[in-house]
Structure 1
Amino acid sequence: MAVHSSLSAVGFLAVISKRLAQAGISTNVISAYYHDHLFVPWESREQAVDILQKLSLSPRT
C-alpha cells in the first residue's frame, strides 16, 4: 500500500497528534516531502496503531 500525505492537508498532523496526546502518548513527528513519520514510545505502539486505525475510519468533516 502506498500512502502519501499532501502538503495541502492543513491540520492533518494536528488531528493525529491531538488524539495521541489525549491518550497520553507522546509523539515525535518528522515530516518529509511525501511522508510523515510518527515516533511513539515502544510500549505505546499498539495503542497508537489502534487510535490511528479508528481515526482513519471516522467520517471526514
Structure 2
Amino acid sequence: MRQITLNVNSALDGVDLTAGVAASLAEAGIFCNMVALYHHDHIFVPAGLADRALHLLETLQRESARAMRKC
C-alpha cells in the first residue's frame, strides 16, 4: 500500500470529503482505506495504483478549485 496525504483541514465529523474521495477512487476501480485525522487525512491505496490515484486526486482538486472560483 502507498500513503497519500490530503493537506486539507476537515472536521473529524464531516464525511463529505472522505466519502467523495473514496467514491471517486472507487469509480476509477481503485480501492482505498481512508484515515481521517485532525489536521489532514490519509488515503492508503495499492502501490501499483498510487500514481493513477494521485493523478485522479489532482484532477479532482483542479475541478473543485475551478468550481469554487465560479461561485
Structure 1 length as normaliser, TM-score? 0.83
Shift of 1:38: 0.1
CA RMSD of aligned residues (A): 1.9
Q: How many residues align?
A: 59
SS of equivalent residue, structure 1 residue 26: coil
Which residues of structure 2 form unaligned runs of 5+? Answer: 1-6
Q: Which has the higher contact order (CA 8 A, sep 6+)?
A: 2
Tell me which protein shows more strand as a share of its residues: 2
| Structure 1 segments (4+ residues) deviating >2 Å | none
Structure 1 position 53, deviation (Å): 0.3
Give 1:6's aligned residue: 10
Structure 1 vs Structure 2: percent identity of aligned residues? 32
TM-superposed CA distance for 1:40, in Å, is 0.1
